[in-house]
Amino acid sequence: MSTTESGLPVEPVYGPEALDGWPAQERLGEPGAYPFTRGVYPTMYTGRPWTMRQYAGFGTAAESNRRYHQLVEAGTGGLSVAFDLPTQMGYDSDAPVSAGEVGKVGVAIDSIEDMRVLFDGIPLGEVSTSMTINAPASLLLLLYQLVGAEQGVDGTRLTGTIQNDVLKEYIARGTYIYPPAASLRLTSDIFGYCRRELPRWNTISISGYHMAEAGATPVQEVAFTLANAREYVRAALGAGLDVDEFAPRLSFFFVSRTTLLEEVAKFRAARRIWARVMREEFGATNPKSQMLRFHTQTAGVQLTAQQPEVNMVRVAVQALAAVLGGTQSLHTNSYDEAIALPTEKAARLALRTQQVLAYETDVTRTVDPFAGSYAVESLTDELEAAAVDLMTRVEDMGGAVAAIERGFQKDQIEHSAYDVAKQIDAHERTVVGVNRYVTHDDEPYEPLRVDPAIEEAQAARLAALRSERDGDAVGRSLDALRTAATGTENVLVPMRAALAERATVGEVCDALREVWGTYAPPAGF
């Protein structure tokens, strides 16, 4: 008998006996109603398709701005910003630790001046923007708000998402700054601030994507993501927020793999688990608090540098799985991303993949076409049960933070990644172009490269900024931020004032480092 990516059994044939006595109304419900198995909205894509996002950001803000204009002209409905590693870690481009990394994996944002350039000519009142940023998410959100205000766009009109999911950084990525308790405090402050200032903004995108990219199975992806989400909800409740005030703005971020049936089951199971957790555990009564709304990105880890054109097929299948699973927005990877930053042509083709699914196929004509499938409903139930069991193990350790401090999630994911690597090496798992159907005459490919002079240019911009601004005003605003961080005041208010005075991202993060310290993983991590 074969098994899924999560190790669950897959029968060669499913029949009526697979769902014998299965309580359809209880397990399925109606689309847009509890437990949201069939989707979070009654009509799903029959009225309009999902939001089509393309992830972009490289080099300077000016270069990224040009790519955004190209994407908007190509028909993308939402922008998604990638930031370079120094920005993700809260360092300025001229910091010694930033050497060699400026503009490499995303755009360098050092101050409000870079943010102005990044969104020059982009109407922030009309586009939805997702920003993949975690530890310094509050800063980038505030810079976006400040630039929106300069365009005459009030915060009540701004729409988008900040990832702001630092717990998964301790598990799978490593771009954390502060210790977990301080990070959770900052997350709660963001929830409270946005409730007042940016009510349409999604305050967090709780991510399983990066855990999946690190090797998590679908069961681990769901279990560890929802366990982290529990921790964020508890932190917000502990800060005095009402669950039905902040929970409707929670959103999630998952991967979509080529294993289409299990991925569809994964998305359906995740919705059902979260609806139950929010209603039964946290007492949420607003249906929007019980909805698991999520963005999906196709699986970068499954892209290959060998025969890169084959990635077009992989991405199309992964995108179809996300759509059939009921995603709210989707990013399709470019076929050349296993080699370098995507070229303009490859990025446009990735967007066209979504447009073909939306406008040339029939998958948008009916809600949840897999409902009642013997195979998919069985897989959904089995995946749900396995994820709940794993969530219980995390709870028994004291919750997600306690499990992180013991290295539990990281250890589980690394074991799964190792198992997959062994299967590929042993030819037990086929990867087309890598261990089967290999060719040795691949055509040469010229990747998009980042100009190393960007680092020098960013340093010059920072030097000019520091010489022109009011240094005393910046110093006073950073002192006010430190004071707020030592107490219980919402730190986003003095943070916004500091950024408006042209304090840099690195300066603001350093002020918080002085108060909260930095996180060092336990020995052996």
Q: Name residue 251's beta-bridge partners.
A: 205
Pairing relationship of beta strands 9-10 and 2-3 according to DSSP bridges: antiparallel
Is 168 contained in some domain? yes
- CA 207 – CA 385 distance, rounded (Å): 20
Query: In percent, how much of the chain has pLDDT > 70?
Result: 96
Q: Which of 186, 192, 126, 138 is nearest to 162 (CA)?
A: 138
- 434 alpha carbon, distance to own chain's centre: 28
Q: Which residues contact 194 (CB under 8 A, 6 or more apart)?
A: 141, 201, 203, 249
- Could you tell me if 43 and 130 lie in one domain? yes
- pLDDT (mean) for 492-498: 98
**What pLDDT score was predicted for residue 446?**
63
- Is the sign of the CA dihedral 15, 385, 247, 214 positive or negative? negative
- Could you tell me if 228 and 105 lie in one domain? yes
Whether 449 has a pLDDT exceeding 80, the answer reads no
Is 182 contained in some domain? yes
> Between 90 and 77, whose confidence is greater?
90
pLDDT band at 444 (very low <50, low <70, confident <90, very high): low
Ranges assigned E (strand) in 370-450: none
Task: Give residue-wise pLDDT tens across range 125-183.
Answer: 988 998 999 999 999 999 999 999 999 999 999 999 999 999 999 999 899 999 999 99
- 400 alpha carbon, distance to own chain's centre: 18
The tokens for 187 are 């997350």
Whether 59 has a pLDDT exceeding 80, the answer reads no
Q: Is 436 exposed, middle or buried (CB count within 10 Å of its CB: 0-12, 13-18, 19+)?
A: exposed
Is 249 contained in some domain? yes
Planar angle of CA 247, 253, 258, nearest 5 degrees: 145
Is 17 contained in some domain? no
- Identify the CATH number of the domain in which residue 347 sits: 3.20.20.240
Q: What amino acid is encoded at 123 in this protein?
A: P
Planar angle of CA 347, 351, 355, nearest 5 degrees: 160
Cβ atoms within 10 Å, residue 291: 24
- Could you tell me if 392 and 467 lie in one domain? no
- Could you tell me if 410 and 488 lie in one domain? no
- pLDDT (mean) for 360-374: 97
Is 335 contained in some domain? yes
Q: Do 368 and 24 touch, CB atoms closer than 8 A?
A: no
Is 4 contained in some domain? no
- Three-state SS for 296? strand
- CA 129 – CA 78 distance, rounded (Å): 6
Exposure class string for 462-500: b at 16+ Cβ within 10 A, else e = beebbeebeeeebeebbebbeebbeeeebbbbbbbbbbb
Task: Give residue-wise pLDDT tens across range 226-272.
Answer: 999 999 999 999 989 999 999 999 999 999 999 999 999 999 999 99
Q: Which of 166, 185, 186 is nearest to 176 (CA)?
A: 166
Pairing relationship of beta strands 159-162 and 128-132 according to DSSP bridges: parallel
Q: Is 417 exposed, middle or buried (CB count within 10 Å of its CB: 0-12, 13-18, 19+)?
A: middle
Give the DSSP letter string of 366-393: SS-TTTT-HHHHHHHHHHHHHHHHHHHH
- Could you tell me if 414 and 464 lie in one domain? no
Q: What's the chain's Rg over C-alpha atoms? A: 23
Domain boundary among 426, 444, 479: 426
**What pLDDT score was predicted for residue 329?**
92
- Could you tell me if 53 and 125 lie in one domain? yes
Kindly give the residue spans of alpha helices, DSSP state H, lying in 453-524: 453-468, 471-486, 492-500, 505-516
Q: Which residues contact 346 (CB under 8 A, 6 or more apart)?
A: 334, 335, 336, 337
- CA 321 – CA 338 distance, rounded (Å): 21
Planar angle of CA 213, 214, 217, nearest 5 degrees: 80
pLDDT band at 312 (very low <50, low <70, confident <90, very high): very high
Task: Give residue-wise pLDDT tens across range 391-414.
Answer: 999 999 999 999 999 999 999 999
- 371 alpha carbon, distance to own chain's centre: 27
> In the block, which residue shows the tokens 């300066």?
507
- Could you tell me if 421 and 457 lie in one domain? no
Q: Name residue 80's beta-bridge partners.
A: 55, 130
Query: In percent, how much of the chain has pLDDT > 90?
Result: 85
- Could you tell me if 413 and 462 lie in one domain? no
**What pLDDT score was predicted for residue 53?**
80
Is 2 contained in some domain? no
Q: What is the DSSP letter of 170?
A: I
- Could you tell me if 461 and 369 lie in one domain? no
**What pLDDT score was predicted for residue 419?**
95
Q: How far is CA 451 from CA 99, 105, 124, 334, 448, in A?
A: 14, 12, 28, 21, 10
Q: How far is CA 386 from CA 9, 218, 323, in A?
A: 12, 10, 23
- Three-state SS for 355? helix
Count of domains forming the chain: 2
**What pLDDT score was predicted for residue 214?**
96
The tokens for 414 are 């690394």
- Could you tell me if 381 and 334 lie in one domain? yes
- CA 385 – CA 370 distance, rounded (Å): 19
Whether 525 has a pLDDT exceeding 60, the answer reads no
Q: Which of 290, 343, 351, 342 is nearest to 315 (CA)?
A: 351
- Could you tell me if 375 and 276 lie in one domain? yes
Q: Which residues contact 123 (CB under 8 A, 6 or more apart)?
A: 151, 153
Angle at which helix 61-74 crosses helix 344-360, to 10 degrees, equals: 30
Q: Do 87 and 108 touch, CB atoms closer than 8 A?
A: yes
- Could you tell me if 238 and 322 lie in one domain? yes
Q: How far is CA 504 from CA 106, 196, 199, in A?
A: 18, 25, 26
Is 22 contained in some domain? no
Domain limits for position 338: 36-426
